[in-house]
Amino acid sequence: VIFKDSSLASIVVAHEIARLIRQKHDSNDNCILGLATGSSPIRVYEELVRMHKEDGLSFENVITFNLDEYYPMTKENIQSYHYFMHEHLFNHIDIPAKNVHIPDGMVPMHDLNQYCSQYDALIDKHGGLDFQLLGIGRTGHIGFNEPGSHYNSKTRSITLDHITRVDAAPAFLGIDNVPRKAITMGIGTIKKAKRIVLLAWGTNKAEIIKETVEGEISSEVPATYLQEHPNTTFVLDRAASSEL
Ligand code: GLP
């Protein structure tokens, strides 16, 4: 779906999420959301916060799982995704703290494998993700599933692509400060979501959106695996769709 601008598109996506939360609430169910970081979803979170404050949207029945976190990374670090999510969403809504799950960037290395399989198991225990929000990196990554990621991959640690580290460098005040690793939900984990919405804004994303939507399905561009998912929508602004 192509929108005139990203702000309007973000509002439409936020309203879809709010509808799902209310629907689940009305049937006494939890709403299991997979959430993303980066600049793309910021306006969606802003609208959800507005709906909480002005329209009485409650997040008491919402359980969230974030896609990824740098590794190693402390929660307090302002570059952490933990910090980002609290700053943009969790600090401003009524979600119970125990319902928030973000990969822990300080898990000791020897516990990482077990930690990651527990993360997947917890998602499954809640009946899977009802809705997964995604951005896309210029390498074609979703979460931090860099080129080479298997279509059936699980939550795990991953080495970041050079392009990804270049793109993150400004936020870290130089590429040398960008972590080399991350923890990410796997492609298999993401693909199990009942509904997926991928956001992409701006000309910077036009090339990778073309490859993702029109290219052959391949581990070289992990986002192409979404072509096989039965309920995925790419929400684009005009600039991101300009190569299609
Ligand atoms: C990071 C995140 C991704 C995100 C991507 C794009 O690499 N791990 O989940 O989609 O950045 O970020 P932006 O939305 O700022 O372009």
Q: Which residue has the tokens 């974030």?
A: 66
The answer to whether residue 229 sits within a structural domain is yes
- Total structural domains within the chain: 1
Enter the DSSP assignment of 17.
H
Count of other CB atoms within 10 angstroms of residue 112: 18
Write the CATH number for 44: 3.40.50.1360
Give me the interface pTM, i.e. the ipTM.
Answer: 0.96
Instruction: Just list the catalytic residues.
Output: 146
Span from the CA of 37 to the centroid of ligand 1 (angstroms)? 6
Atom of ligand 1 nearest to the CA of 36: 9
> Does the beta carbon of 40 sit less than 6 angstroms from any atom of ligand 1?
yes
The answer to whether residue 244 sits within a structural domain is no
Question: Which stretches in the chain have pLDDT values below 70?
Answer: none
User: CB under 8 Å to 134, separation ≥6 — which residues?
Assistant: 36, 67, 142, 143, 190, 196, 197, 198, 199
Among positive and negative, which fits the CA dihedral 55, 1, 69, 83? negative
Q: Which range marks the domain in which residue 205 is found?
A: 2-237
Q: Which of 6, 13, 136 to mutate to test the pocket of ligand 1 (most atoms within 8 A of CB)?
A: 136
In this predicted structure, what is the pLDDT of residue 83? 98
Enter the DSSP assignment of 150.
-
In this predicted structure, what is the pLDDT of residue 200? 98
Span from the CA of 230 to the centroid of ligand 1 (angstroms)? 23
In this predicted structure, what is the pLDDT of residue 144? 98
